[in-house]
Amino acid sequence: MLLSIALILIVGMALGWICKKCKLPSLIGMLLTGIILGPYVLGLIDDSILNISAEIRKIALIIILTRAGFGLDIGGLKKIGRPAVMMCFVPATCELLGMLLLGPRFLGLTLLEAAILGAVLAAVSPAVVVPRMVKLMDEKYGTSQGIPQLILAGASVDDVYVIVLFTTFIGMAQGDSVSVMSFINIPVSIVLGVLIGLGCGLALAKFFEKVHIRDTVKILIVLSFSFILVAVEDMLSTPITFSALIAVMFIGVSLQKNRHEVAKRLSVKYNKLWVGAEVFLFVLVGATVNIGYLGHVGIKALVVIIGALILRMLGVWLCLIGTKFNSKERIFTMMAYTPKATVQAAIGGIPLSLGLACGDITLTIAVLAIVLTAPLGAFAIDMTYKKFLKKD
């Protein structure tokens, strides 16, 4: 296990550095590290790490989402208004509709199978998008227009919406009846996540005001609260739940509002934590990619992914109608909303494990979508933000 951790860190950072020197996102090097060291190529990552890979990736997401909360300008989001709400649902819905149109025609899927595949693909990856939007906010690119805030908030809610749809479609494929409550749970879980996060953040702000402790200890307390929220969400079996990841982000928002100076200092600490967390996140996402599946994918699968992505980008464009964004800012937002990685890695294999007829094709296309969109999306963001967005 210790050797695996050393290899993940050393090789991941080395390939990330090489990619950066070649003017490519370091993410590409980390994904390649996971593929090479993972169980489908060299098999150098210990099973004990692979067995807890999902939890490690979740910890990394918690770190970057809390850091995002420290920098998220809610006032800027309020100014944007309607488009901010639409970005949470419309692009994913358009991509899902695209799969319903293209899946049966090109892949021979039934409508329900196409809906399952569409729900797997329709989520944008917070792992790719959130760190980049945090970087944009730090460097003050597009922040006066609220562009990184818009993409950041939308990417976080988008996943909740898509995972609820995926769970519903899987239930239908197994013969369960459609539950109206599962659809009601989408807005309820988002609102509850926001309220719980704000409440926890306020409680922590009051505690930090009364009890003087080192910032490092404060980080550990905030992380512990975040882990508890995620664990509670996983344990809940009630019809109505809450989104723990949204709650985690709003802990940062609440601390920023109530203890601004403390939040600024903690944000710097979280940036240091992210250096290691980023390596583990992307290397372990890469380790889930079975390149053997890619050999079975024909040109039709590629056409379906690209077609669904075009409809997703059309959905983003629809959301931005009526905003003051110029054409370059609209194009940037459309590109920034395409990367896929973590959700596809987490749920892409579920249909196959349940023995559904569409399991093989779903996993194969999920893998292809990660390999295609994660590096290209990251590359598009990194190469265009200075040209397409205004620096404040």
User: Mind listing the pLDDT tens digit for each residue in 255-294?
Assistant: 988 888 888 888 888 888 888 888 888 888 788 777 776 6
Tokens at 370, concatenated: 């990660």
* Residues 54, 73: Cα–Cα separation, whole Å: 30
Question: How many Å is the maximal CA-CA distance in the chain?
Answer: 63
Can you give the pLDDT at residue 133?
87
> How remote is the C-alpha of 280 from its chain's centroid?
15
Q: What does each C-alpha distance from 206 to 88, 128, 133, 191, 210 come to in angstroms?
A: 31, 33, 29, 23, 6
Residue 149's identity, in one-letter code, is: Q
Q: What pTM, to 2 d.p., does this model score?
A: 0.75
Contact 178, 164 (CB under 8 A): no
Using only the alpha carbons of the chain, give its radius of gyration.
20
CA distance 199 to 355: 42
Contact (CB, 8 A) for 150 and 77? yes
Nearest to 215 by CA among 274, 264, 278: 264
State residue 228's pLDDT score.
93
73 three-class SS: coil
DSSP 75-113: HHHHHH-HHHHHTTTHHHHHHHHHHHHHIIIII---HHH
Residue 246, token pair as written in the block: 């949204």
Q: How far apart are CA 37 and CA 129, in angstroms?
A: 24
Q: What is the pLDDT of residue 296?
A: 67
Beta carbons within 10 angstroms of residue 119's beta carbon: 26
194, 246 in Cβ contact below 8 A? yes
355: left (phi over 0), alpha (psi -120 to 50) or beta: left
pLDDT value, residue 245: 79
Task: Look at residue 391 and give its three-state secondary structure.
Answer: strand
**pLDDT beneath 70: ranges in the chain:** 73-80, 175-183, 293-297
For 10-22, letters b (16+ CB in 10 Å) and e give ebbbebbeebeee
User: Which ranges of 211-338 would DSSP assign to H, the alpha helix?
Assistant: 215-235, 244-258, 260-287, 291-294, 299-319, 327-336
